[in-house]
Structure 1
């Protein structure tokens, strides 16, 4: 089943869900894939077919982090599956 094209509205919905329900995952994305290993908190600001923008807190300072995906996302379902795969990959690294 195909998902919705990733519009700004879909991006906002995904970000709100990730920040509210999966803040730990967002922090892992910033640390493992965004080279912000010192981050203590993170918030997903936007997601698009190429990657996601995260605001990470490093030493009390906000730091912009861009995490590129390994492929261009087709739709919101692809985003969902990709985000899950990235968490599994990050946990295996850790």
Structure 2
């Protein structure tokens, strides 16, 4: 699989989950770690072992955003941990209290 540990089914499931259940978290990540502080919307479009891909709406225009993971991922369980880390880091940068992981 040329270094890609996540198949299309995993990528689609993670993207759907992020978009359905964590749209606000995705926006916070794009505003901070993705370098789009004025983004008004964001959605997850994919991921690989090295990062997550988003599309953010900035000034009414959709732009591609890539946020790298802190390290290369090899297992599906690592995706959640890494996205939670990104969310928590985004909250710290914005000076807001992250909600408890649950």
**After TM superposition, is the score higher than 0.5?**
yes
Give aligned pairs, total: 90
Q: Which has the larger radius of gyration?
A: 2
Equivalents in 1 of 2:64, 2:92: separation in Å? 25
Who is 2:20 aligned against? 20
Deviations 1:45-83 (A, max 9, x none): 001110011000011111111111110012111010111
Runs of at least 4 residues off by over 6 Å: none
**TM-score normalised by the chain length of structure 2:** 0.84
Root mean square deviation, CA, Å: 0.9
Larger RCO (CA within 8 A; separation ≥ 6): 1
Deviations 1:10-36 (A, max 9, x none): 011000000000000111111111111
User: Which sections of structure 2, spanning at least 5 residues, go unmatched?
Assistant: 95-102
**TM-score normalised by the chain length of structure 1:** 0.90
SS in 2 for 1:80: helix
